[in-house]
């Protein structure tokens, strides 16, 4: 099966930006979005949906993209996730990524089926990280950025296993949550964490 290409981007004349977010599902950590404008004369080999790539391949592509694409990164904090809900926080991270990129697009391709409420022209693409090179590139940037944030948080809270589970509800993470309770990095609005807060 072929990977992502530029066929969707080819529908437009001008700057077409890919946007994707990472981190809707974890119990801990922020949600991170990336906005990427590829240089069509400098596209690294091997770009694909970040979930299909090894950590080594993602890191290599991340660094190559940093060197030859225009990139914006946006983060929505745990506090914002708890205050406005994870979907709205994801949209907020996307908007911040676009603001950081500071490029006027003719179209923004967003992975998924829900449009952020923003000022930019937008097209949703279901499974976009497997179809559009721009969205796939954004998925790689967002994934590597968030993974590195969770590895850094792991150094302060090693019992939860964030270096490997990146905040998702693995057995190790849930066991540590039961034993040690939530940290400041935990999303209090998510049920497994909220249940722990009720017992503190």
Residues 6+ apart with CB under 8 A from 2: none
46 within a domain of the structure (yes/no): yes
Model confidence at 200, pLDDT cuts 50, 70, 90, reads: very low
What phi and psi values does residue 93 have, to the nearest 5 degrees?
A: -60, -40
Residue 189, pLDDT score: 93
Quote the mean pLDDT of the chain. Answer: 95
72 within a domain of the structure (yes/no): yes
188 to 85, 94, 103, 131: CA distances (angstroms): 11, 22, 35, 35
Average pLDDT over residues 74-78: 98
How many domains does one find in the chain? Answer: 1
| Sign of the torsion angle spanned by Cα atoms 77, 80, 86, 89 | negative
Residue 1, pLDDT score: 53
Helix/strand/coil for 28: strand
159 to 23, 154, 169: CA distances (angstroms): 20, 8, 13
51 within a domain of the structure (yes/no): yes
* pTM as predicted: 0.95
Other beta carbons within 10 angstroms of residue 189's beta carbon come to 15
Domain that holds residue 44: 9-152
80 within a domain of the structure (yes/no): yes
Condensed to tens digits (0 to 9), the pLDDT of residues 117-166 reads 899 999 999 999 999 999 999 999 999 999 999 999 999 999 999 999 99
Tokens of 26: 């974890």
CATH of the domain at 30: 3.30.420.10
180 within a domain of the structure (yes/no): no
Other beta carbons within 10 angstroms of residue 199's beta carbon come to 7
81 within a domain of the structure (yes/no): yes
Helices 191-198, 171-180: inter-axial angle, 10-degree rounding? 20
Burial 120-130 (b: 16+ CB within 10 A, else e): bebeebeebbb
196 within a domain of the structure (yes/no): no
């Amino acid at each position: 099966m072929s990977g992502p290409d530029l066929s969707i981007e080819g529908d437009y004349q001008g700057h077409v930006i890919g946007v994707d977010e990472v981190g809707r599902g974890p119990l801990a950590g922020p949600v991170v979005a990336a906005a990427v404008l590829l240089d069509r004369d400098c596209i690294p080999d091997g770009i694909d949906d970040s979930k299909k790539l090894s950590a080594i391949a993602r890191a290599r592509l991340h660094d190559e993209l940093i060197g030859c694409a225009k990139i914006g990164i946006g983060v929505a904090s745990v506090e914002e996730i708890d205050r406005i809900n994870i979907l709205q926080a994801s949209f907020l991270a996307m908007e911040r990524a676009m603001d950081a990129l500071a490029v006027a697009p003719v179209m923004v391709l967003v992975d998924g089926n829900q449009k952020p409420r923003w000022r930019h022209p937008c097209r949703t693409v279901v499974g976009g990280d497997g179809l559009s090179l721009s969205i796939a590139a954004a998925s790689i940037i967002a994934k590597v950025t968030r993974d590195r944030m969770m590895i850094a948080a792991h150094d302060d809270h090693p019992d939860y296993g964030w270096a490997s589970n990146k905040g998702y509800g693995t057995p190790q993470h849930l066991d540590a949550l039961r034993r040690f309770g939530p940290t400041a990095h935990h999303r209090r609005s998510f049920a497994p964490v909220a249940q722990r807060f009720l017992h503190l």
